[in-house]
Amino acid sequence: MSNPPTNGERPADGAPLLDVSELTVHHGQLRALDRVSLRVFPGEVYAIIGANGAGKSTLLRTIAGLHRPTGGVIWFDGQDVTKVRPERRAARGIAMVPEGRRLFESLTVEENLQVGATYARKGPWTIERVYEMFGWMAERRSQRTAQLSGGEQQAVAIGRALVANPRVLLLDELSLGLAPVVVQRIYGMLPQILATGLTVLLVEQDVSQALRVASHLQCLLEGRTTLEGRPSDVTAEQVEAAYFGLARAGQESDSLWSGSTTSSRES
Ligand code: ATP
């Protein structure tokens, strides 16, 4: 396998780990995704940005196998997984941290991590390793996750996905509902995660945060791709136009860069 690309660079050769081609997904009559394509290479952080309802979660959930597309193909490590069941995709190395964490709140921290480890692949991530990464977690292993703060719950959700030893980690809106300082702390863990060989595909409404960590980005608007490229190659104006659509870009750009496009935040 080729070396992982450094931040901002993509391998000139080599195969993508995840190759999504012309993906179309409907929720009933609504076309939530319209021929969206993306290629995620080993070791990179690929960010999907876009406003509420742009189709970001639908994209991640379809890659994880939770929605059935009406068109297009999903290739993972060279194999067509479009019709593969979600648990089989997990076994092949696709794990997701869902929007809103979705922990088992009546279970303890450790029990939640054990759930993630149930059908784990072989690899570097263990519950102990998650405890090493999040220093506070081991001594609170017996606490129910309902008693944790939003940021702590997010950390457990990440840990639960990591202990499955995925090859690609799908992160859905990590920043949602969290104070900026907590968001920084959570994203501060990414280098440690990438160092174990993982590839990350993340969804973010917080555009500044996405641009800070991504090596490649794509913007969705109403289910369609409106921008794709390396963060260093796109201008703020291009991002604004792609995010809001040309007509609204000027009026709403301030909220985009302050990160206040996300819904209400908690501390
Ligand atoms: P958000 O940041 O608000 O989660 P998003 O970019 O992730 O937005 P999606 O959640 O993928 O967007 O939603 C895309 C569109 O599909 C929206 O119009 C949404 O209302 C609709 N939608 C999403 N999930 C479903 C569902 N299960 N059934 C019906 N419509 C859905």
Q: What is the dihedral of CA 240, 246, 251, 252, to 10 degrees?
A: -40
pLDDT of residue 4: 44
Tokens read off for 152:
């702590």
C-alpha of 188 from chain center = 15
Task: Indicate if ligand 1 lies below 6 Å from the C-beta of 29.
Answer: no
62 lines ligand 1 (CB under 6 A): no
Q: Would you list the domain boundaries of the chain?
A: 18-250
DSSP string, 167-211: SEEEEE-TTTT--HHHHHHHHTTHHHHHTTT-EEEEEES-HHHHH
Name the token pair of 178: 């969290």
Write down the H helix ranges in the chain: 56-64, 86-92, 109-117, 127-133, 150-162, 180-187, 190-194, 207-213, 236-244, 249-258
Helix (H) or strand (E) holding 267: none
Residue that has been written with the tokens 């995620």 in this structure: 40
pLDDT number for residue 267: 33
Distance between CA 47 and CA 203 in Å, rounded? 6
Q: What is the pLDDT of residue 11?
A: 55
Phi and psi angles of residue 245, each rounded to the nearest 5 degrees, phi first: 90, 150
CA 50 / ligand 1 centre spacing (Å) = 12
- Shortest-distance atom of ligand 1 to CA 99: 4
The pLDDT value recorded for residue 205 is: 85
pLDDT of the chain along its 267 residues, tens only? 344 444 445 555 689 999 999 999 999 999 999 999 999 999 999 999 999 899 999 999 999 999 999 999 999 999 999 999 999 999 999 999 988 778 878 889 999 999 988 878 899 999 999 999 888 999 999 999 888 988 899 999 999 999 999 999 999 998 888 788 888 888 888 998 999 999 999 999 889 889 999 999 999 999 999 999 999 999 888 999 999 987 555 555 666 766 544 443 343
Which residue among 57, 62, 226 is best mutated to probe the pocket of ligand 1, counting the most ligand atoms within 8 A of its Cβ?
A: 57
Strands 71-76 and 18-27: antiparallel
Distance (Å) from CA 255 to ligand 1 centroid: 21
Domain covering 18-250 in this structure, CATH number: 3.40.50.300
CA of 30 to the centre of ligand 1 (A): 10
Please give the distance, rounded to the nearest whole angstrom, from the Cα atom of residue 86 to the centre of ligand 1.
Answer: 19
